[in-house]
Amino acid sequence: MHEATRRRICRAVFLLVCLVPTLGLFAWVGVTRSSPYRTARRRAWQQQLSQQWGLVVTLEQWDTPRRGIVLLDRVRLADPETGDPLLEIRQLEIGRYQGEWFLRAAQPELGGEHILRLWDAFHERFLRAEPSQVRPVQLACGEMTIHRTDGSGATTLSDIRFRLAPSAEGPQATFEFRDVALQMAEPAQLRVTRNRQQSPPATRWELNTRSTALPTSLLADYLPPLRWLGPDATFQGAVEAVRSTNGWKGEFSGRLRDIDLETLVTERYDHKLSGNAEVLFRRARFQDGTLIDAAGDVVCYGGSVSRSLLAQADRTLGLAAAPRVRALEADPLLRYRELKFAFALNQDGLRIVGHGSGPDPGVVMADGYGPLLQDTSEVAQVVALVQALSSPQGVQVPATKEAYQLLHILPLPTRQRDRPPVTARGPFYSPLRMR
């Protein structure tokens, strides 16, 4: 081969193998580092995540520290209809290995009032997705902060592990976590399964706190009645519930501690009752949002009780109040030493059996001078519990399912102490009276 030919071949090889790839690499780096390209890629990530999650997703920056890994900074999730911010993640790492997605979130924060909205989006996009679209996903998070709606503080969860995977019944999501404020020997677990083998399909929830009592305030924004238990109430046990077209159906068992009776009774009714109580639910079943039956024990060591509540319990709950409770005295409150009883509630009625300490049998409540309330082995009607807590001047209605449904769609009169002061004398007949 001629010398000139060899030189031309070497120059061509150099251009094709060295110079062109090098120039191409420089061009690619220049393009990928340019502001227009990064903006376009950021918008593409926002659009892709918004379509997958069913929410409006925005982020500030993105980066690829190594092959197959993407880092997204300041990820924000908002409601697509109202634009309200739902969740903010300082940094989200996304990767994929052998067909399974892996995510790592750094310091996510959300408001307790947005838990339900996030759950709805997750339920629709992942649990109710087509079977062919369900892909295994794992999420790890060091800490997550949930701010309470009333601004009273926040709950911080740690060691969060989330996994979504298909199962024989349908998509199943497992969520494990610890509470930073508690010394949890093992994480609590929440399992959510979409059962597609039944018709129509239903979603089953299974919560197991294991060896640790969780604060009820954690779900107070999602289940407002939990606020009635007080800010320090905790629950330890297991809950299983299935959501159907008519409401919730399931059962639970466990222990409720540090129930503030003043928040539960005094702030909601016309009677006075204070103290920190503990309730052990041996069993409790509910269906269509209504309690079917329950059995357990209640104990409280010390507090105050109004004579009016003791009198109502004597008249309606089948309990016997001590004669000195009915005596006319100046002080309407009594200090009790112990409140301890077992209960059984079902369609047949409510039965209370006193387990108070002392020589007298069947003591439900006692003070330093002796029993205040004792059981009589009678079974009271379920409505008697409502009558015992309600004001004696309350409106009387039939205790039927039809009346219950009607009262849920009609405006009801307020309690006497909540009504504004009346300067003029009212009419003798009021259309709000239902008797």
pLDDT band of residue 23 (cuts 50, 70, 90) is low
At 428 the pLDDT is 33
pLDDT top residue among 40 and 94: 94
Read off the pLDDT of each residue in 233-246 and give the average, rounded to a whole number.
Answer: 87
Please tell me the predicted confidence (pLDDT) of residue 222: 73
Q: How confident is the model at residue 176 (pLDDT cuts 50, 70, 90)?
A: very high
Q: Is the pLDDT of residue 384 over 80?
A: no
Give whichever of 181-190, 323-332, 390-399 has the largest mean pLDDT. 181-190
Burial class of residue 76, CB neighbours in 10 A (0-12, 13-18, 19+): middle
* Sole residue written with tokens 């006692």: 366
Evaluate if residue 408 carries a pLDDT over 60: no
Q: Of residues 223 and 340, which shows the higher confidence score?
A: 340
pLDDT average, residue stretch 422-431: 35
CA atoms within 13 A on the CB side of 185: 4
Minimum mean pLDDT range among 103-112, 155-164, 211-220, 348-357 = 211-220
> Whose CA is closest to 221, among 123, 173, 153, 287?
153
Average pLDDT over residues 122-129: 88
Q: Please, are residues 397 and 403 in contact by the beta-carbon 8 Å criterion?
A: yes
Q: Distance (Å, rounded) from C-alpha 214 to C-alpha 143?
A: 16
Which two structure tokens, joined as six digits, stand for 390?
A: 């309600």
Going through 245-337 in order, the beta strands assigned E by DSSP cover: 247-260, 276-287, 290-300, 303-306, 319-321, 333-336
pLDDT computed for residue 395 by the predictor: 57
User: What pLDDT does 290 receive?
Assistant: 81
Mean pLDDT for the stretch of residues 152-171: 88
Residue 420 banded pLDDT, cuts 50, 70, 90? very low
Strands 137-147 and 109-111: parallel
* CA distances (Å), origin 281, targets 148, 238, 251, 253, 287: 27, 10, 10, 5, 17
For position 423, what pLDDT does the model report? 40
- 33 vs 277: which has the higher pLDDT: 277
**Rounded mean pLDDT, 261-268:** 91
Q: Is the pLDDT of residue 230 over 80?
A: yes
- Report, as an integer, the average pLDDT of 340-362: 89
pLDDT score of 180: 87
Q: Tell me 329's DSSP state.
A: -
> Is the per-residue pLDDT at 409 higher than 60?
no
pLDDT score, position 430: 32
Q: Per-residue pLDDT averaged across 257-269, rounded?
A: 92
- pLDDT at res. 90: 95
95-117 tens-digit pLDDT: 988 778 899 999 999 987 888 88
Q: Among 37-46, 210-219, 390-399, whose mean pLDDT is lowest?
A: 390-399
**Close Cβ partners of 138 (under 8 Å, ≥ 6 residues apart):** 100, 101, 102, 103, 161, 162, 163, 164
Q: Are 204 and 195 in contact (CB under 8 A)?
A: yes
Average pLDDT, the chain: 83
Least confident of 33-47, 247-261, 369-383, 392-406: 392-406
**Whole-number pLDDT of residue 422:** 39
pLDDT (mean) for 155-180: 91
d(CA 349, CA 378): 10
Q: Is the pLDDT of residue 337 over 80?
A: yes
